[in-house]
Amino acid sequence: MTETPRIPLSPTTRSTLTRSKERARIERAELDAVLDAGLVCHLGVLLGGAPVVLPTIYGREGDTLYLHGSTGAGNMRAAMTGPVSVAVTLVDGVVYARSAMHFSMNFRSAVVHGRPVEITDPAARVNALRVITEHAAPGAWSRVRPPSKKELAATMVLALDLTEASVKVRSGGPKDDPADIDNGGVWAGVLPVRQAWGEPIDSADLESGLAVPGDVRERAEPSLLPVR
């Protein structure tokens, strides 16, 4: 069996962890895994001289992260004027400790730094919107109406290179002080966090007789499947 090549991330000053360095992950595949598992990222920009962080849908294709929004959105225009930061966090559990200071979270997170560029080529813009749609709703693009010229004109699509990024992961139980462990009497452990799909809900204006598409049904069953 051919072993999958291990491609490292390329750390920079901004993307190198300065605290809890043992939680850093250094392989590119681990960055892709976090981005592909998330549904929403948080885009940080400077808007009017102040930091603004807003949630947004995204999609990844190869070495590129795609973002989109209204051409009139201030955060999208601000993203074109300087460096941005994009963060995706997946919470896997709440860590209960014996002391308040050692409570924590088990998580997987990725932070991408860079300066996005606007996609202006019509075919590339449509492809980026396809990637974003398929990230949020796999299988949907092929059956829905594609964006119209008017819709495309009102939408800004940005591409952010994934070269400068960091990945941080915490797993396992609490890191209690020996004295607190020896004293006992307080429960410690991890309460796992899991997201699950629910039962699909028909739109109120859905025409009679239309069944839930197979890709939606497969995603929702069984009900305790992870979100991604």
Same domain, 86 and 173: yes
For residue 85, the model assigns a pLDDT of: 95
Do both 147 and 95 map to the same domain?
Answer: yes
Q: Kindly report, residue by residue over 22-65, the tens digit of the pLDDT.
A: 777 888 999 999 999 999 999 999 988 899 999 999 999 999 99
User: What is the tally of structural domains in the chain?
Assistant: 2
The verdict on 183 and 137 lying in the same domain is yes
Does residue 203 sit in the same domain as residue 223? yes
Q: Give the pLDDT band of residue 4 (cuts 50, 70, 90).
A: very low
Q: Which helix (H) or strand (E) holds 65?
A: strand 64-70
75 φψ region: left (φ > 0), alpha (ψ -120 to 50), beta (else): alpha
16 belongs to a structural domain: no
If asked whether residues 217 and 112 sit together in one domain, one would say: no
DSSP 3-state of 151:
helix
**Residue 5 counted as domain residue:** no
Provide the pLDDT confidence category of residue 222 given band limits of 50, 70 and 90: low
Q: Do 112 and 210 reside in the same domain of the chain?
A: no
Is residue 127 a part of any domain in this protein? yes
Give yes or no: residues 132 and 211 share one domain. no
Residue 66 has pLDDT above 60, yes or no: yes
Give me the domain span that covers residue 220. Answer: 194-228
Full-model pTM: 0.88
74 domain-assigned: yes
Helix (H) or strand (E) holding 104: strand 104-114
Long-range pairs for 14-18 at CB < 8 Å and ≥24 separation?
14/113, 14/164, 15/111, 15/113, 15/164, 15/165, 15/166, 16/166, 17/166, 17/168
Whether 98 and 208 map to the same domain: the answer is no
Same domain as 103, residue 41? yes
What is the reported pLDDT for 225? 43
- Are 199 and 163 within one domain? no
126 and 203 together in one domain: no
With b for 16 or more beta-carbon neighbours within 10 A and e for fewer, the 149-172 pattern comes to: eeeeeebbbbbbebebbbbbbbee
Query: pLDDT value at position 1?
Result: 47
131, with CB counted inside 10 A (0-12, 13-18, 19+), is buried
